[in-house]
Amino acid sequence: MKTRLTTLLGIEHPIVLPGMTYIAVPELVAAVSQAGGLGILASGALNPEACRQAIRTIRSLTDKPFGVGCSLMMPGASECAEVALQEQVPVINVSMGKGEWVVERARTYGGKVITTVSSEKHARSAIESGVDGLIVTGHEAAAHGGAVSSMVLIPAVRDMTDLPLIAAGGFADGRGLVAALALGADAVAMGTRFASSAESPVHPDTKQLILAKEAEETIYSPNFDTFPCRVMKTPGGQRYTARKLSPPVAITRSVKAARELNRPLSGLVRDTLSLGLVGAVKVAYFGAATLAMRKAIHEANHVDGVQLIGQSQGLVHDVASVAEIVDRVMAQARTVAANVSGL
């Protein structure tokens, strides 16, 4: 299947593993790229040296194209983007910040830059910044999907640009891939589906919980990390989203998270304060949220932890290998496309 995205990146299938903190680790990234899709490393929990090491591990596992995701607003993210540029990573996926400097530097070695957006307004400014493609994240998505469903947001963004678009939010099988292509996208990003794959580092009990949950068993709330965020409906998810943490608790937890990540506190404070008071408080909430995410992902603790998950959990019925998932998505997409064209 050839689309604008497969042609741009030289990949076989229009399927992407999006950045997921603690989940999109080198082994999973390499498995998706090796299966013919595009794996994107999540750099949010990595310091620059760990990011460089992760990039080298991916390269030792596959010679196929892969990406590195950087949420530019987060402390340390620009340093990881710098490492990705130095290592000449084929694709850099930026979000939450101005990525012009990344585009300029990636051009020098032929790297491609893809920006994640969740609204028409974000899409407009990303297009102006000269990026090579967009991940368009609709309301159904795990974590930070937009206010508008994928069904409307993707064609709305397609009306603005001819750039390759990757549809994210609610896509977990071949039916979703054909639907995304029909809406004007050139690929799908599947977070929830790959988080429950055999190669994913998510705790086995959490994977079983994903299989058991229905589509409607999620919560979309700004109380988890200050941006509207979709999490699984669990005791932890319900408690965390019932009301916002107080700023002092958020700051204390985020400092704890930074210590656990071996982030030098002086640099963290400098980077955070450079964002201004509102930005600094937002980053503190993000830091606090990472502790809860880790408890759910690594310990299957859904009382103290919070699991990010999309509505597409209702479409996940087994834990399969990445290669099996990619094969099934492509086979089902071909059947569905043939059925639709035969109507």
Ligand X SMILES: Cc1cc2nc3c(=O)[nH]c(=O)nc-3n(C[C@H](O)[C@H](O)[C@H](O)COP(=O)(O)O)c2cc1C
Residues forming contacts to ligand X in the complex (CB under 6 A) are: 18-21, 23, 44, 137, 140-144, 168-171, 189-192, 195, 308-310, 312
Locate 181 and state its tokens: 């292509």
Contacts of 81 by beta carbon, 8 Å cutoff, 6+ apart: 68, 70, 72, 92, 94, 102
DSSP code, position 21:
T
Task: Give the residue nearest to ligand X (CB).
Answer: 191
**Shortest Å distance, C-beta 22 to ligand X:** 7
CB of 215 to ligand X, least distance (A): 10
Residue 317: both structure tokens together: 């019925």
Nearest approach in angstroms of CB 338 to ligand X is 25
* CA torsion, ordered 154, 159, 165, 169, to nearest 10 deg: -10
∠ at Cα 203 (198, 46), nearest 5°?
95
Are the beta carbons of 253 and 288 closer than 8 angstroms? yes
Residue closer to ligand X (CB basis): 88 or 208? 208
Smallest gap from Cβ 293 to ligand X, in A, equals 7
Distance in angstroms (rounded) separating the CA atoms of residues 182 and 154: 10
CA distances from 70 to 94, 157, 255, 332 (A): 5, 22, 20, 32
Task: Pick the closer one to ligand X by CB: 121 or 266.
Answer: 121
Any idea what the Cα angle at residue 307 is, between residues 208 and 154, rounded to 5°? 100
Q: Between 63 and 299, name the residue whose CB sits nearer to ligand X.
A: 299
Q: How far is the CB of 203 from ligand X (least distance, A)?
A: 11
- In whole angstroms, the minimum distance from the beta carbon of 200 to ligand X comes to 8
Q: Which is nearer to ligand X, 88 or 151 (CB)?
A: 151
Q: Do residues 70 and 87 lie in contact, with contact meaning Cβ atoms separated by under 8 Å?
A: no
